[in-house]
Chain A
């Protein structure tokens, strides 16, 4: 079946602009995660959705970052007033449930803020 789909694959934006990144998880996966990975660095957790529960937003670096998940499926990560330090690869992952289930990653969105 189809894997996790992310769009766009690449995004170049000017400093100060808003951007939206989209993630379509694997069908039937109730858990959805957003991570950020800067060049040569590890995975930085941003936000987690599980079913209809309130999202775990503990990893969002500032109030410029927000995310929503509509209908328990597609998720959008929004970055307002982008800064150069926001440049990174944004990875989305989904799993059947949070505990004990492995994550399946999308191909990521490479964001470049000029």
Chain B
């Protein structure tokens, strides 16, 4: 059973702080990793994808992948109240795509 684990939260951070969202996965053969943002009542929206070990930066977002530790994270710098949402980690292997249950992020003004 391929599993993707996320802390459900909520993770509360003040505006301007760095939010750190974490995800672990069980399948060592996983090759592709995605972060989605889901606002309440809306559908998931892709914000980052990462395929190789290391960091990938896009604006205020940085995805970090460590395949040896089976760990992927998302850092949000200068967090804004508009970043308040549930963040879903998704992991793709040879023939499956598995979503975590998501971490709720609350950014307070």
| Interfacial residues, chain A to chain B (CB-CB below 8 A) | 33, 41-43, 45, 89, 91, 98-108
Kindly list chain A residues whose C-beta atoms are within 8 Å of the C-beta of B46.
Answer: 102-104
- With A43-B99, A98-B97 already in contact, the answer to whether A105 and B92 are too (CB < 8 A) is no
- A42 and B100 contacting across the interface, CB-CB below 8 Å: yes
Kindly list chain A residues whose C-beta atoms are within 8 Å of the C-beta of B43.
Answer: 89, 91, 105-108
Kindly list chain B residues whose C-beta atoms are within 8 Å of the C-beta of A108.
Answer: 43
Kindly list chain A residues whose C-beta atoms are within 8 Å of the C-beta of B34.
Answer: 102-103
Which residue of chain A has the shortest Cβ distance to B49 in the bound complex? A102
Which residue of chain A has the shortest Cβ distance to B94 in the bound complex? A99
Which residue of chain A has the shortest Cβ distance to B4 in the bound complex? A42
Interface size on B, residues (CB 8 A): 21
The dominant DSSP class at the A interface is loop
- A100 and B99 contacting across the interface, CB-CB below 8 Å: no
B31, CB-defined interface residue at 8 Å:
yes
- With A43-B44, A98-B95 already in contact, the answer to whether A103 and B90 are too (CB < 8 A) is yes
- With A104-B46, A108-B43 already in contact, the answer to whether A99 and B92 are too (CB < 8 A) is yes
